[in-house]
């Protein structure tokens, strides 16, 4: 059976809320409600986002649990084993109620139950006053594997932010393409996340030490050397999107003319760009011919990063 729609649940830290909502707007065209879940026609792989907890590919929907059980009755799993899991939203449900619901729905499914290592996982959820049943796809925290890089520095992006930036740049590779450029790659945090998603990512930096660190990090995760020491003016080709974590205001004093040159070159290289700055740069961004489609801020102590999605 094909899903009628998809339900996603999310989790984040307080300081990440703005970024989470921006990622939701970009990927799904809507934000999750206060209960922490989102109903969407968009099929998005949960592993891509550090904020998506799980996806339910909804096969049946009903106004009551009794009606849902009647719809699911006789559903055939086919080969392999299965398990039904209660998919929690932020709506509080007692543990015993969750287990009884799983048993009640699982009892009418035709197949072999295996609660420890099932070959198929199904979910039942109560969201927005409706009961839902479908294929349950929990997220695997791929980004966690990349937290302890051999090379790093205190102001580098963390893996959660970097992964979200990639999703802002290329929310749907089938539609938006897969070729990503990071022209200020630093130690390669964004590149590691993009490559782990299967994207065609490459990067550069004017700092040879940063590029050396990026190469060490990429090799640590078994990834190809996709970085070069070069100024953005020397970057060639055309890309589907760019992620530029502009280091100039933090690491050195760079005149507005230099910042404008970098932004103009980003516009020439890609039709879509995600910019990370440490101060408001709206006038320079507009002067470079870029349109700010969405934005958010992320605090880190006294440092505040501005995330701009530009076209």
Please give the helix or strand (H or E) that residue 127 lies within, else none: strand 120-127
Least confident piece of the model among 47-56, 184-193, 240-249: 240-249
Check whether 254 has a pLDDT greater than 70.
no
DSSP secondary structure, 188-234, as one string: SHHHHHHHHTT-EEEEEES-HHHHHHHHHHHHHTT----EEE--GGG
The pLDDT tens digits for 90-148 are 888 999 999 999 999 999 999 999 999 999 999 999 999 999 999 999 999 999 999 99
pLDDT at 303: 86
Check whether 253 has a pLDDT greater than 60.
no
Domains assigned to the chain: 5-138 (3.30.2130.30), 142-310 (3.40.50.150)
Check whether 152 has a pLDDT greater than 50.
yes
pLDDT at 48: 97
Check whether 17 has a pLDDT greater than 50.
yes
The whole-angstrom separation of Cα 38 and Cα 139 is: 15
Strand ordering across the sheet containing 110-113 = 37-40, 5-10, 52-62, 130-138, 120-127, 76-86, 110-113
Tokens 């059980």 identify what position?
69
């Amino acid at each position: 059976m094909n899903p009628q729609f998809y339900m996603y649940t999310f989790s984040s830290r307080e300081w990440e809320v703005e970024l989470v909502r921006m990622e939701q707007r970009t990927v799904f065209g809507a934000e999750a409600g206060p209960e922490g879940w989102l109903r969407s026609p968009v099929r998005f792989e949960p592993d891509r986002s550090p904020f998506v907890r799980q996806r339910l590919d909804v096969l049946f929907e009903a106004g009551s649990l009794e009606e849902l059980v009647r719809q699911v009755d006789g559903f055939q799993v086919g080969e392999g084993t299965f398990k039904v899991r209660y998919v929690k939203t932020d709506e509080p449900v007692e543990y015993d109620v969750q287990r009884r619901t799983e048993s009640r729905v699982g009892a009418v499914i035709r197949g072999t139950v295996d609660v420890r290592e099932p070959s198929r996982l199904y979910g039942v959820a109560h969201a927005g006053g409706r009961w839902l049943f479908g294929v349950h796809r929990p997220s695997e925290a791929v980004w966690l594997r990349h937290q302890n890089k051999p090379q790093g520095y205190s102001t580098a992006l963390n893996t959660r932010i970097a992964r979200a930036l990639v999703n802002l740049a290329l929310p749907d590779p089938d539609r938006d393409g897969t070729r990503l450029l990071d022209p200020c790659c630093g130690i390669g945090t964004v590149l590691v996340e993009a490559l782990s998603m299967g994207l065609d990512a490459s990067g550069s930096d004017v700092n040879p030490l940063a590029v050396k660190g990026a190469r060490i990090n990429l090799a640590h995760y078994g990834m190809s050397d996709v970085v070069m020491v070069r100024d953005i003016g020397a970057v060639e080709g055309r890309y589907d999107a760019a992620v530029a974590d502009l280091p100039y205001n933090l690491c050195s004093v760079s005149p507005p003319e230099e910042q404008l040159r970098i932004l103009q070159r980003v516009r020439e290289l890609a039709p879509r760009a995600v910019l990370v700055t440490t101060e408001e740069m709206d006038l320079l961004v507009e002067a470079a011919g870029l349109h700010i489609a969405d934005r958010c801020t992320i605090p880190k102590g006294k440092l505040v990063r501005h995330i701009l999605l530009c076209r």
